[in-house]
Each structure stands twice: as C-alpha cells, then as structure tokens.
Structure 1
Amino acid sequence: MKKATLFLAGLMAFSMQSKADEGMWTLYNLPQQVYETMVDEGLQMPYNELYNGENSLKNAVVNFSGYCSGVVVSPDGLVFTNHHCGFEAIRSHSTVEHDYMLNGFYAKSYAEELPNPNMFVSFMREQKDITELVEQLGYDKKNKQERETLIDSLENAMTKQVKEKDSTLHVNIDAFYEGNKWYATTYQDFTDLRLVFTVPKSMGKFGGETDNWMWPRQTCDFSVFRIYADKNNQPAAYSKDNVPYHPKRWAKVSTEGYKEGDYAMTIGYPGSTERYLSSYGIQMMRDASNTPRAQVRGVKQEVMTRHMRADEAVRIKYDSKFAQSANYWKNSLGMNKCIDSIGIVNLKREYEKKLRAWQENTNTNIKKVDFDALESLYKRLTEARYVYTNLYESFGRSSAVEFNTRAMKLMRGMEIKGDSKKAKDQYQVFEDNSKEWDANLDKEVMAVLLKNYCEHVDKKWWPSIYQTIDKKFKGDYQKYVDYLYDKSIIMKSGKKIYCNRKEFTKDPGIKYALSLMDIYAQLNEIMPPLMDSINEQEKRLCAAKIRMEEDLPHYSDANFTMRLSYGQVGGFELGGKPSGYFTTAESIVKKMKQGENGVFDYKAEPIMQTLLSAKDFGRYQDKRSGKMQLCFLTNNDITGGNSGSPMFNGKGELIGLAFDGNWDSLSSDINFDKRLARCIGVDIRYVLFMMDKWGHADRLIKEIDAK
C-alpha cells in the first residue's frame, strides 16, 4: 500500500529496499523527508494544513466508536464510515417488521435520525511526545504494576489540566515504538451519534465472506451518521434538544475521480501492526494464535450459518456477531498462507543475524537484545498461548455463546446489589436480553465448541467439567449443555444470584464457570512473567533497529491512534496477471446473476440490478473510462481500524472510503510487501449514486455538495 523511494523502518525488518509507499505516520511530527516525498508523489497541500490549526485536514477525520474510522463530510456534522462499522447500530434498530439490515434505511428529516446510546465519534485535537517526562518520573526503574500506575496517574493529571481549559477534552497516553516512546493525545468525544442512511446489507456487505479480503470487489461498504451537539456546539449526552454539530473543517467530496498513478492518501485509526516483531514472535503468532483461532471459528460459524439461514429473526440477532467472527477467521487463514508462501519467519531471522552482528560490533548505550533468551522465552510461551487461544475462542466472549458470556461476567465481577452490610444478602442479576440471542443456536454452538476443545487441546489443560460430561452424561455434550440451560441460575434472567451463599457453588453453571477460571488461573501464572520478559527484549529489538538505521525516518507500529499513509492509485500483478485497479457496474451485475443461480453472497434485490444496469450514470460516471466505477485499489498502508478511513486525492478531497485489504498480502501487519499490499476502497461516486438513485436522499446530496 504505497509508493517507492524511501526505506521506512516500520517495513519488515529484513527488507533493505527503499520505498515511500509504506508507513503509518503520526501527523504532528511528520518527518520533512516524508512530506517532501508526498509532494513529489502529487500532494498539493501545505505541510501545516495536514495537522496544525482548526482548519487542518485531521479535524475532518474521526475515531468511529473505538473500532473504526470515519470522516465528516458536511457543515452539519454528517459522517461517512463503512457499512460494516455501522453494522451493529443498523442491526440493533432492526426488527422483523422493520428490517433495516434487509431493506436499508433513510431518515428523511432530522427527527427521523436514529440515536445510538453506545456509540461515539472522537476528534484528535492535539498530540505530543512526552517520553522525556515519563523517563524523568522513573518509568524504567519501576515494576509492571508501578509502571501502569504511573501512566494512569499521569494520564489523569494531564486530563485534569486540559479540562481546566475545556471540560469536553480528555488525554490518552500511549506507548509507541514498542515502549521506547510515549505520546499524549488530546481528544474530544461526541456521544450523540445518530444513524441517517444505510443501504441494504445485500449491497453494504455484497460478496459476504466469499469476497471478504478479496479482489475484485463491488461492495458498497458505507453508512451515514450525524454528530449532534448542544446549543453551544459542544459535546453532550443524547437529548431531543441537541442540534447537528457544526465542524470548522469537513472534507470536500470530489466526483472528479482518479486515474492510475494518481496520489492517494488515507488518514484514520489503524488498530494494530507488529512490523518490529521478532521471528520467534511471528512463529508463535502463526502456530499458537492464527491456527487455533481459524479452526475454532470455522467450526462455530458452520453452526451459526445453518441457523441464521433458516430463520430471519435469528439472522438479525447474529448478523453482527457472525461478521465479527468471520472477519478475523479469514484473516488468520490468509495471514498464515502469506507467512508460509513468502517465508517471512526465515527472512526475519536473516535480518536478525545482521542486527546481532551490528550489535556486537558497535558501541551503543542502548540495552542489547539477548536473542538466545528471546528464542527460549517464546518456546516456553507458545504452548500456553495455544491453550489460551483455544480457551478464549471456545469459552470466552469470542465464542458468541450467551451462557459463556454470562458465566465470565459473573466470574470477573458484576454490579453487587442488596444489603452492603450483609454479605449473604448481596446478589447479582442478569437482565432479560432474550431478544439478543437464540437458545437453539446458542446451545448447539456451545456443545460443538466443548467437543472441539478437547479434540485439539492436551488433556492436562481440560477444565474439570469434562469429568462431569464423561461420567454423568456419557460424553454427550449436547445433553450436558441442555442440562446447564435447564438447571443453572445463570440463564434465569431476573433471578437473584447470591454469590455468598452455599448454594452458589453447587449450581452446575457456576461449577462450569469455576472450572474454566481454574485453567485461566493456571495460564495466568505462566504467561504474564514470560510476556514481560519478552516485551523487554522486543523493546530492545525495536530500539536497536532504529539505531542501526538512524539516518532513515521511522514510524511506530499502529496502536489505534491517528495515522497518515500515502501512495498511488493502482493495481498489482500476481502470476503475471494484472489485477486492474477498479471495478465497474457490469461486474456487479454479472455477480448478481450468479446470486440468482444460488451463490448466496451475491444475492441482491432486483432493483439493485436494474439500477446498476443503466446505460448512463450521469455525473457519477467516470469521464475517462466511461464506466460507473465501484471500488478501486491504492497502495496505501492500512490495517484493521482503518475501516471507514477517508481516501483523499492530492488536494485533500474525498475520493473514497477504505474498507479492506487484499488476500494476497494479509501478512502486511507484520510484513509490508509493496508488490502486493493494496487498500480496497469504495468509490465516493458509488456512494453518492446509491444515496441518490436508490435512496432518493436529496437533502443529504444537497448537504454534502459534492463537486
């Protein structure tokens, strides 16, 4: 995802080629050398217009609800993000009678825009390096607990300081460069966020899991929200008296399109990359995280799919859970494929040999990496990590089983009710949330995952409830699960659970939960000390790399703080076959016909095929190709969290929304391959076309005022 001329240090540690197309850059301290390369590539904006001042481009970009990115596109606070980022909001407003997942949604007035209590957007207002301050406070001389306390205290103190100037601000402190640097970021959160427009799921998720992470794509992956504020244009909790937020900067939307080689830039909130990670860490990731994650989720999703396709009400309940599970199921499969096909572990080890030699032959005041210790530590951690991944995926929140969710909440602490002076009268209670889950699906998934766990994990790591299943239920997992749902108080919504009475530990569901916690406790004795030692060595490895390449600009791994990446519009070549760099209306119509013939993920409403079979698409048709262009490729550097990131041209105008990477480079979180790594975006003209011709959202089209 990018261009070529500079070698950037976040690039895979073993690659010694120069390039300028890789990098997730913090904006406040963007290296001048990088900016100059951006200008050479086609950026037409002054340096200061990217970050500095109220009218800087960064002020149009938002953290969307803590897991995605978005962009403000109007003077009245309209926000574009991906459909899959708004997925849960769309699902939560849907019922069988008013299925916005199936039918889409358009609020024809402000009054019809739908509030979302658990969502927000966050604007980054300022960022600065506070490494020197953290070091002066003795961070490196403290133990883990003391370090966490120090950062929390400093964060609270800095938040208090900014709130004295503006009560709506807060500060987050994050580690950069594997903990070698610390940055403080000031944010302003708006919690009144309302759903304004969405296309049907058939278009917003067109291609489903068949096309996820794949190219070519035709997915119309966008949704529209609006930020609301109080009468003073300040953040406020939801109120009917709130009014649309008026930002000082919003992104201008361009319908001029792009051509191959044109400058492209994303600004967003990439979640996590590990490009400084050692070869030993990559091996563990492959074998102990990706492999078991993909296996467990594949088993679970097979059951979920069957139930969801059989019942629309069940589908609505589980659409979001399934999408979350399937996304990184496929990502894990694709990443492992790339790790193996590229030979990343061996390439990384070759680089580490060079780094070891440099370290041994150079006088430096940085702490040296103990490569032998690092290898030994990872070997000891890998078994525990494999067990932990299986345990979490099978019985943790990721299992998507309501019984497991409740059991873990109970074990890890819920609100205590009752007489605070009498322990026996204190209780916990689960509210009725039966509208959020389906008993038949839930029980079958739970039984399947119980069976799958013991088939893939060594017996010494089996929770004690497996003895009960074997002796009392003759190994019948479904009978055991039915028994739990029937007898355990955990599934009795509204019933008081007295955790300080004798009957508490006699409950079969509590016994089940305690047996899981016993395995977690065993792992917790093994893993944290190993991870602390590993983190120290990985920190040294990052510092050594930067020091060895000190004449080059370096960016930190992603950590869900705002980053800029740049590059060009363009495709890639695989096996001598060019990918092309955009898709057209003809291509989606062709796939829709496959949907008519049974390909589930390509099914769409007849009106969609009619609209996209038009002979003339008017202002939304590309002037160069004469086609209605749907999705396009750039080589911008993105990862999870960048979903919904604005894709800008050289003038800082919005030309699309990033929504995916490509299957051929799913190892880019650890190894950026400039030949293959691509960012897939939905063309902003496709977005506007659907709002206009399908949604007839005239008021929104006018508000956006695209040129």
Structure 2
Amino acid sequence: MKRLLMSIVGLLALLPMKADEGMWTLYNLPQAVYDQMKAYGYSLPYESLYSGNNPIKGSVVLFGGFCSGVVVSPDGLVFTNHHCGFEAIRSHSTVEHDYMLNGFYAKTAKDELPNENLFVSFMIEQQDVTARLQALGIDDMPFDKQADVIDSIAAVMTDSVKKIDKSYHVEIDPYYEGNQYYATTYQLFPDVRLVFAVPKSMGKFGGETDNWMWPRQTCDFSVFRIYADPKTNGPAEYSEANVPYKPKSWAPVSMQGYKDGDFAMTVGYPGSTERYLSSYGIKEMRDAGNATRVQVRGLKQEIMKRHMDADEAVRIKYDSKYAQSANYWKNSMGMNKCIDSIGIIEQKKAYELRLRHWQDTTGYLKGKLDFDLMARLYAKCFKHRRAFYYWFETFRGTNELVTRAMKAGSGMEVKGSEKDPKKQYIEFEDNSDEWDEALDKEVLAALLQNYREHVSEEYLPSFYQTIDKKFKGDCKAYVDYLYKKSILMKSGKKLYFNKKSFNEDLGVQLGLSLQDYIAAQSEILNPLSDSIDVQEKYLCAAKLRMEQDLPHYSDANMTMRLSYGRVGGFTLNGSPSGYYTTAESIVEKMKMSDRVPEYFAEPIMHELLSAKDFGPYQDKTTGKMQLCFLTNNDITGGNSGSPMFNGKGELIGLAFDGNWDSLSSDIYFEKNLARCIGVDIRYVLYMIDKWGHADRLMKEINAK
C-alpha cells in the first residue's frame, strides 16, 4: 500500500497541473492536491484545513474587504500587512501625532484605537449551489437578471443561517467564469481597533522603488484587535463596553523558521485573477486597460508627490491615496512587460487552436463556443473599452470636486421637507481634513487636458463644450472657476436641488454631463460585454471538459483560498536570487538614503538592525536575522496579509507581495519565475519587542 501511495504521489508530481500553482477552495480541496501537499511536507490531516476541531480556516480573516489577516491570540489579536492597515493608521495621524511617521503602540487596552468602517469577516462554511441556481434557469438569463436571482437566493439562505446565529450572512459568488456558484456563510465583526504599527519607514521600507521587487526588507505588518459584545462574544458595533473577542481558533506563532525546500502554505482572500481569459481578452487588458492606467496615473502621481513633498499636512492626507494609486500603476507596467516577454498572448492563441480542434472532434458546445464570434466582439469593443478606462482613471476618485459632482446627482441623503420638494436639499459635510485644494485643482486640470489628448472627440463628455465656449479651451481656468464659484464646494451649505440655480451651476452640470456620458457608453458597452462574457464562460467550460482528468481551481474572487508550495528562490538575472534577506542587507540600503529617499530609516532602526546578536529572533541554522523570504505560493491582490504556514500549521510569515517577474500571474502563472514574498514572523516579533517594547503583546502572542 505504501509503495502504491508513493507511486501515485510520483505521478502527481509529473502532472501538468503544476503543483505550486493554484488558489484552491478549502471545503472541496481535491484529494490529489492534498496528497501533493503531504508529499511537500504538510503533516496535518485533511480535516485540519476546513472542518476539523479548530481548523486553519477559523484563524484566517477577510480584513476590511480588501486584504487578509490572521488571528494570533485567544484575545482576538490580528496580524495583517502595514499597507493593509495604512488608511487606519493615517486616519488617526495628525501633524502633532503622526502615527504614520512615528508608529503607534497602544500600551493598554484603553489606548487601542477604533476605526470607522473597518471590519473583519470569518468564513463559517461554503457549499456548491450550482444545481439550485441552474434549476431556476440562470444559465439562460441576461446577466442583470442573473444578479437579481443570485441576490434573492442569498437573501433566503441568509434568513436560514440567521436562525443559527443572528450575526451570520450568506454571499453567493460565481466560479469558473459562471459555470459554477458557491454560497459562503460569513460572520462579520465591525469593531476592529488599531493596536500596533511600526513607523512608515519600516512598514513601507523601499516604497515604490522596491515594490514588486526582490530582494526585499520591508517590515510589512500592523496589528489590530477584534472587539465583541461582552454578553455574547459576538459581533457588535463600536462601543466602549465591548471587550476583546474570544475566537474559537487562532494560529500558533512559530519561532523555528524555515529552510530551502520546506513546505509553505498561504490561506487568504485573493482578489481577482483571470487565468481562463482568452488571448483576445489579454490583448485588450494590455493595450486598453494597463497601458491607460500607467499613462494616467503616472501623470497624476507626479503632481501628488510634488505637493506631498512640500507640505507635511498634505502628505498625511494623501499618503494612503498615493500608495493605492502607485501600487497598481507599477503592477500594470510589470504585467505588460511579462505579457510580452513570456509571450502569453501567443501561448493562449496556440492553446485556443488546440481547444478548437478538440471542439471540432467532440462537438462539445458546438453552436455556443464560437472563436470567430469572440474575435469580432472584442474587436468591436476595443475602442469603447479603451475610452472607458481613460474615463475611469480620469474621473473616478481622483479629486474632491468631481466626486461631489457625481454624488450630487444621486446617492446622497435628501434632507428637509418631505411634502414640499422646493424645501428639500442636500449638504456636503466639511471634509477639508481629507483633501488639499491646490493639489486637487492641479490634478483635475491636468487630467482634463490629458483626457482630451488621448481619446477621440466622440468620447468627450458635453462639459468640454463649456470649457471651449466659456473658457477658450483652458482647463485650468475652468477648474479654478469651479472651485471658486460652484455651490458644490460650499461645505455645510444647504443645496436646494429643485431650484433653477442648482441646475445652472457649472459643477452640477459637470456631474450631470459625466452621468449622461457613462449612461450612453453603457448602452453600447453592456451588450457587447455580456456577449463576450458568455463566450469566455463557454471557453472555460470547454477547457474544464477537455482536461476533466485534472484538478482545476477557479479564478480568485475575494473568497478564501489556499495556495501551497515550498520555500525557495529563483534565477534572477542569471544568478540564484537567494530565498531570504538579512539585517545586514537593510542596513546597507539605509546607508543609501541620500540617493534613494525611500531607504530612509530613523537612527533607532539603524541601531536595532545593526545588532551583533538578535537573540531568539536569529535563525538557528544560518545564524542570521532573516527579514523577508520567498516561496512559490500563488499570490495576487487581496492576498496581502495572508498568513504563511509551515507543514505543522504554524505561522511563519505574512505574505505581502509578488516579485517583478510574477506580475503576469493574474492571467498566467509562470512557475519558474513567480514567487510570493513574505515578511518573516520573527522580524515582526523583533520589532514588536525591541522597538515597541510591547511586553503585553509578546506575552499574549506566546510565540514558540
């Protein structure tokens, strides 16, 4: 029997599924995948992942709806990345108490800081509801109707699980391009408080210079705590009476480290991948999406950076916005580089030819999956999609005026008399602590001009006629006028939207023009996009059928996934990359801060990381203080903050990035190049201990 098992494991290692690739759902993890995990060094039973006593899934959280995290103590302490906690840290910062710049430690429970709109969610269970939805005819419905049916079934299921626990709710998501549907039960905790953050110099060490790069030394972590109702230990809105949550599960933290070839596993909430996407879709992503994002954000970020460098108060306001923008600006550049250097489009075309031949032979989805139709649809859609990306990058969330202009037309609370429409009004609260007028105006003027230069006239919203007629084409003069004269910029003023003067305001007209424009474009794009989505769904279904003897994972969609592999490096510029970085390497970079400002660190950091002896935080094998390390785990956006486990299910790090050569991974996993970068948990603990002197946290975490 043992010989047979070893033979099976050996065969699995040869399968083209690429054992280190994949973002697997836990509740139905293929046995073949688990067997490969065991062959790599996972020592816990199958049930330990999802359904056993204190399963690993029970310690992993969706953090804020955009990142991952892990519970590490019996009192609800959560580790995530520093960049995941960035906005929470920034929101508590002022020029006088700049926690972003100086770090933060809550010395007592009373000092832990609440955060508006921040939450964590636990996945309770997951199940396949495909048959239930197909019985309702979902496959034959228009996409907007599908969404309504999914929402109604999720509501029915939520009513059912609330009988078990009132804090539960159900979400239904499509998998495999809509060929399957899974329902996930969640428990959401809305009271999450900031406990500990290192200074930005360490939490974001290397900044955009090192982002998506190896080697890395970033101490990318922050610490939060979940609070609960004191009577039920369940979710509760913020209250001073709430107490630390007592979780059923938490991850044991290991001080034992790792070595080359050791098993490594991440469990988290990866955001979005498109690995089933056609060659036509990838070409559109490269040329319409990524190229546009790089161009517009590069312009915007140059202006932001200049203003932020000139004024500390402005920097605090825009730190988080700039980081969010720059992250996927650089990601888009790297992805386009990989698409071309790896030849992904040509590889996809070759695979589609193979799939087409298989379809001709078997007749599967004949009359439905139509490669020629897909090509025509993408060709027809391209110019509209490219213009849409320019519109999105120019107008969505880029400045306060346009944000208010878009809100004024819809989505705001109506105040005043319910009976008399003329006395109804909307009102913008004073949020001047969140934006800077000089920066905002320069960004908007530059983006308006840039948009005009990069799209054809048919894609210009009608307000450009106002710019031409009233301001002689001068975007800066138009923007100056809006900020000075538009009623939208009068915070705290009652805006009576049923009066003639409201609709005559140029700021209001800007918002209406943008809404009219996107509505008209949606009428063109939506039918094309729906038809493309149907073809992409059939393409995925054909791949799954042709390769039905192999296990397949679905694209990431912000639901819990497991990725596994091994610790280890790759070939970087013709030489071994190494699989970990050391304290010596960060000190060398710190000395370069006069040339690279993002390598600046406070004198105390130089001192701490130049220590002769790092005590228990030093690796027992190498004798080094190890900072960051590499695995071949699968990672994408949303995985940030994902716990990295060893073969015993112990926490050894937090995933925070991929390498430059992995930036094609959202569409194509290149196993020889793609790597996951994690911060060593011993580095995290060293900073909590030696910089923060956070004895109460160290005792609570109880790392071994």
Look up the match of 2:475: 477
Q: Does 1:96 align with 2:95?
A: yes
CA contact (8 A) 1:4 1:18 kept: no
Instruction: Please list the CA deviations of residues 241-278 of structure 1 after superposition, one character each: whole Å capped at 9, or x if unmatched.
Output: 11111111100000110001000000000000000000
Residue 584 of structure 1 aligns to which amino acid in structure 2? T
- Quote the Cα distance in structure 2 between the aligned partners of 1:689 and 1:679: 22
Aligned pairs, number:
695
- Quote the Cα distance in structure 2 between the aligned partners of 1:145 and 1:603: 51
Q: Does 1:644 align with 2:644?
A: no
Q: Does 1:311 align with 2:311?
A: yes
CA offset at residue 412 of structure 1?
3.6
Look up the match of 1:13: none
- Quote the Cα distance in structure 2 between the aligned partners of 1:7 and 1:385: 41
Residue 427 of structure 1 aligns to which amino acid in structure 2? Y
- Quote the Cα distance in structure 1 between the aligned partners of 2:31 and 2:119: 33
CA offset at residue 6 of structure 1?
5.0
Look up the match of 1:384: 384
Look up the match of 1:415: 413
Look up the match of 2:255: 255
| Distance 1:706-1:155 versus aligned 2 partners, 3 A rule | same
3-state SS of 1:594 partner: coil
3-state SS of 1:658 partner: strand
3-state SS of 1:298 partner: helix
Spell out the pairing of 1:7-406 with structure 2 (5 A cutoff).
17-231=16-230, 232-364=232-364, 368-397=368-397, 399=398, 401-406=399-404
- Quote the Cα distance in structure 1 between the aligned partners of 2:697 and 2:452: 54
Counterpart pick for 1:541 among 539, 557, 579: 539
3-state SS of 1:499 partner: coil
Look up the match of 2:459: 461
CA offset at residue 213 of structure 1?
0.5
Residue 358 of structure 2 aligns to which amino acid in structure 1? W
CA contact (8 A) 2:359 2:366 kept: no
CA contact (8 A) 1:193 1:225 kept: yes
- Quote the Cα distance in structure 1 between the aligned partners of 2:243 and 2:115: 15
- Quote the Cα distance in structure 1 between the aligned partners of 2:494 and 2:366: 57
Q: Indicate the RMSD between aligned Cα atoms, in angstroms.
A: 1.4
- Quote the Cα distance in structure 1 between the aligned partners of 2:261 and 2:367: 43
CA contact (8 A) 1:367 1:540 kept: no
Instruction: Please list the CA deviations of residues 563-617 of structure 1 after superposition, one character each: whole Å capped at 9, or x if unmatched.
Output: 000000001103421111111001101111111x231111111110110000100
3-state SS of 1:23 partner: coil
CA contact (8 A) 2:17 2:551 kept: no
- Name stretches of at least 5 consecutive residues in structure 1 with no aligned partner: 9-15
- Quote the Cα distance in structure 2 between the aligned partners of 1:199 and 1:70: 17
Residue 140 of structure 1 aligns to which amino acid in structure 2? D
Q: Does 1:683 align with 2:680?
A: yes
Counterpart pick for 2:587 among 586, 589, 603: 589
Spell out the pairing of 1:614-629 with structure 2 (5 A cutoff).
614-629=611-626
CA offset at residue 517 of structure 1?
2.1
Q: Does 1:632 align with 2:629?
A: yes
- Quote the Cα distance in structure 2 between the aligned partners of 1:544 and 1:391: 35
- Quote the Cα distance in structure 1 between the aligned partners of 2:307 and 2:563: 41
CA offset at residue 382 of structure 1?
1.1
CA offset at residue 464 of structure 1?
2.3
CA offset at residue 473 of structure 1?
2.1
3-state SS of 2:592 partner: helix
- Quote the Cα distance in structure 1 between the aligned partners of 2:604 and 2:441: 38
Counterpart pick for 2:656 among 646, 655, 659: 659
| Distance 1:580-1:4 versus aligned 2 partners, 3 A rule | farther
Runs (4 or more) in structure 1 with deviation over 3 Å come to: 3-8, 363-368
TM-score norm. by structure 1 comes to: 0.97
CA offset at residue 518 of structure 1?
2.7
| Distance 1:696-1:124 versus aligned 2 partners, 3 A rule | same
CA contact (8 A) 2:17 2:550 kept: no
CA contact (8 A) 1:4 1:20 kept: no
CA offset at residue 365 of structure 1?
6.2
CA contact (8 A) 2:364 2:542 kept: no
- Quote the Cα distance in structure 1 between the aligned partners of 2:410 and 2:143: 21
CA offset at residue 367 of structure 1?
6.6
Residue 437 of structure 1 aligns to which amino acid in structure 2? W
Look up the match of 1:12: none
Look up the match of 1:428: 426
Residue 636 of structure 2 aligns to which amino acid in structure 1? T
- Quote the Cα distance in structure 1 between the aligned partners of 2:453 and 2:224: 45
Q: Which moved more, 1:271-280 or 1:493-502?
A: 493-502
Counterpart pick for 1:522 among 513, 520, 523: 520
- Quote the Cα distance in structure 1 between the aligned partners of 2:299 and 2:139: 44
Residue 566 of structure 1 aligns to which amino acid in structure 2? Y
CA offset at residue 363 of structure 1?
4.1
Instruction: Please list the CA deviations of residues 509-568 of structure 1 after superposition, one character each: whole Å capped at 9, or x if unmatched.
Output: 112222222321221111110111011111000000000000000100000000000000
TM-score norm. by structure 2 comes to: 0.97
Residue 418 of structure 2 aligns to which amino acid in structure 1? S
- Quote the Cα distance in structure 1 between the aligned partners of 2:68 and 2:680: 16
Residue 396 of structure 2 aligns to which amino acid in structure 1? G
CA contact (8 A) 1:280 1:378 kept: yes
CA contact (8 A) 2:169 2:186 kept: yes
Instruction: Please list the CA deviations of residues 643-663 of structure 1 after superposition, one character each: whole Å capped at 9, or x if unmatched.
Output: 000000000000000000111
Instruction: Please list the CA deviations of residues 374-404 of structure 1 after superposition, one character each: whole Å capped at 9, or x if unmatched.
Output: 011111111111111111111112x2x1111
| Distance 1:692-1:627 versus aligned 2 partners, 3 A rule | same
- Quote the Cα distance in structure 2 between the aligned partners of 1:237 and 1:580: 46
CA offset at residue 18 of structure 1?
4.4
CA contact (8 A) 1:94 1:316 kept: yes
| Distance 1:291-1:373 versus aligned 2 partners, 3 A rule | same
CA contact (8 A) 1:175 1:182 kept: yes
- Quote the Cα distance in structure 1 between the aligned partners of 2:476 and 2:347: 47
CA offset at residue 7 of structure 1?
8.6
- Quote the Cα distance in structure 2 between the aligned partners of 1:394 and 1:259: 47
Give identity over the alignment, percent: 69
Residue 552 of structure 1 aligns to which amino acid in structure 2? L
3-state SS of 1:385 partner: helix
Instruction: Please list the CA deviations of residues 30-51 of structure 1 after superposition, one character each: whole Å capped at 9, or x if unmatched.
Output: 0001100100010011000110
CA offset at residue 497 of structure 1?
1.8
- Quote the Cα distance in structure 2 between the aligned partners of 1:491 and 1:5: 66
- Quote the Cα distance in structure 1 between the aligned partners of 2:120 and 2:472: 52
| Distance 1:341-1:7 versus aligned 2 partners, 3 A rule | farther
3-state SS of 2:591 partner: helix
Residue 224 of structure 1 aligns to which amino acid in structure 2? V
Q: Which moved more, 1:471-480 or 1:190-199?
A: 471-480
Look up the match of 2:696: 699
